[in-house]
Amino acid sequence: MIDNLKQEKIDQIPSILNELDIDLWMIIEKESDITGDPVAEFLLGTGVTWLSFYCFFRNGKKSAIIGSLDIEKFKRLEIFDEIFTYKNSCREDLLRILKENNPGKIALNYSKNSANADGLTYGKYLQLIELLEGTDFISRFIPAEDIIAKLKGKKTREELDRIQHAVDNTLSIIDKLTVFVRPGYTEKEIARFLIDERKKTGLPASWDEEHNPAVFAGPQDTGAHSGPTEKKLERGHVFNIDFGVKYKEYCSDLQRTWYVLRENEKKPPEEVLRGFSVIKESIHRAFNAIKPGAKGVEIDRINRQYLIEKGYEEYPHGLGHQVGRSAHDGGALLAPAWERYGNLPFIPLEEGQVFTIEPRIYLKEYGVITIEEMIYINKNGAEWLSIPQEELFIIK
């Protein structure tokens, strides 16, 4: 049997399909270890070798077509109401399922906007077209991105508990960094400390360890998704980290900022304190505006315009993203109406989603000031998953 969490996610599918007026969601798999659909792994936790179809209908019916060698493990999953196996061709079974149920809208996992919903390779799509040649089912295809956005976005209680556990562990590790770090340490030495502390917990990293944590010491031109270097932390520097861990496959993603006092300096310069204060206030303004039905572009605008009004340059990325099984998860974004984000900033926010809020400003003489918090959307607004950084951390 599949675990309870996967069953909870599968149980969400019929209501999502009815909400979106979609008759059938069909996930197509082949050689899962090489070209696996991430949503299939998310739901089933197992893969296939031959071309396979998982069919979820709006009435709750679940059908699968798989190669004959995969039958036993699919029986053990106890997910599908009917399982068809084949040795030569799956065409007959696929046509039987479609003709018997006659779905008006067939959602497939392709998307121009969301990587989470783009698991159908072009090769598998061409195979599907060949199998359905001469039928009008091909004209009924629509993208499944809205289904996947809701399925991954609407967190169950178990998913939320796992994310909270990851957040709590991340914050606990970060707390130790203030005691450890000293002027003269390199970005790589700071990163190694965080990695070693994470490994003591037995938890994996939320993303590639090459840049988790990312560490940025003082003024630099390095991008936000790059790894730590041999650059040394100096007095008078701002430095920040981007760090996250996984707990039972669910992620955290947090950023924090410090200032290293100069000799005989009792507090950070006013420019640094002002920058931190503005960043903090911008996060609270976004937090207070988040609620079900709001659009991410609106939340991003509130934060971005506040920073611009305070005299800072516009940051070159969206305000926040969803978090779940991956650090960048879900569909809707808190982001500006830039072409690169497609329709994602315009998708209404929903209860159950988990987001980051992560603006940044650059102080030429000191470095990047940024905070990344994690929040959960409830029926009335937002609630914190992370304990917000309210004061600039100081290294003496």
> Of 331 and 187, which is predicted with more confidence?
187
Instruction: Write the CB contacts of 277 (distance below 8 Å, at least 6 apart in sequence).
Output: none
pLDDT of 227: 82
What dihedral do alpha carbons 229, 225, 312, 359 form, nearest 10°? -130
CA distances from 345 to 140, 141, 194, 287, 352 (A): 27, 24, 33, 16, 17
Residue that has been written with the tokens 């299939």 in this structure: 40
CA 200 to chain centre: 25
Is residue 222 scored above 60 in pLDDT?
no
281-300: average pLDDT? 98
Mean pLDDT confidence for 98-112: 97
pLDDT at 1: 67
Cα–Cα distance list, 245 to 94, 106, 250, 253, 378 (Å): 41, 37, 8, 7, 24
> For residue 372, how many C-alpha atoms fall within 13 Å in the half-sphere facing its CB?
27
Phi, psi at 387, each rounded to 5°: -80, 115
**DSSP letters of 111-176?**
-SS-GGG----HHHHHHHHHHTTTSSGGGGEEE-HHHHHHHHHS--HHHHHHHHHHHHHHHHHHHH
pLDDT of residue 49: 93
Residue 75: what are its φ and ψ, rounded to 5°? -65, -40
Q: What is the pLDDT of residue 267?
A: 95
Span 139-147, average pLDDT: 97
Nearest to residue 355, comparing CAs of 282, 280, 287? 287
pLDDT tens-digit profile of 237-251? 999 999 999 999 999
What pLDDT is stored for residue 114 in this prediction? 87
Average pLDDT over residues 137-145: 97
Q: What is the pLDDT of residue 144?
A: 97
4-152 CATH fold: Creatine Amidinohydrolase; Chain A, domain 1 (3.40.350)
In this prediction, residue 389 carries a pLDDT of 98
pLDDT number for residue 168: 98
Range list of H helices, the chain = 4-20, 32-35, 38-44, 71-77, 91-101, 122-131, 145-153, 157-180, 187-201, 270-289, 296-309
Residue intervals in the chain for CATH 3.40.350.10: 4-152
Give the pLDDT mean for 194-217: 95
From 247, 26, 2, 11, select the one nearest 131 (Cα to Cα): 26
Is residue 118 within 8 A of residue 315, CB to CB? The reply is: no
Residue 290 near residue 349 (C-beta atoms within 8 A):
yes
pLDDT at site 213: 96
Contact of 74 with 83, CB cutoff 8 Å: yes
Contact 25, 147 (CB under 8 A): yes
At 116, the pLDDT band (50, 70, 90 cuts) reads: confident
Residue 225 predicted with pLDDT over 70: no
Q: Which residue has the tokens 């410090």?
A: 258
The burial of 210, by beta-carbon neighbours within 10 Å (0-12 exposed, 13-18 middle, 19 or more buried), is given as: exposed
Q: Is the CATH number 3.90.230.10 carried by domain 154-395?
A: yes
* Residues 72, 109: Cα–Cα separation, whole Å: 26
User: 301-314 pLDDT, tens per residue?
Assistant: 999 999 999 999 99
Average pLDDT over residues 217-230: 77
Residues 24-47: pLDDT tens digits? 999 999 999 999 999 998 999 899
pLDDT at 212: 94
* Start-end of CATH 3.90.230.10 domains in the chain: 154-395
Query: What's the rounded Cα separation, in Å, for the pair 375 and 378?
Result: 10
The per-residue pLDDT for range 354-383, each reduced to its tens digit, is 999 999 999 999 999 999 999 999 999 999
3-class DSSP state for residue 242?
strand
pLDDT at 350: 96
Exposure b/e, 75-98, CB count within 10 A at least 16 = b:
eebebbeebbbbeeebeebbeebb
Q: Would you mind telling me the total number of residues written for the chain in this entry?
A: 396
Give the residue among 104, 27, 5, 73 at the shortest CA–CA distance from 324: 5
Residue 126: per-residue pLDDT = 97
User: Across residues 333-349, what is the average pLDDT?
Assistant: 95
Question: Sorting pLDDT into bands at 50, 70 and 90, what band is 224?
Answer: low
Task: Please provide the average confidence, as pLDDT, over all residues in the chain.
Answer: 95
**Residues 310 and 350: beta-carbon distance below 8 Å:** no
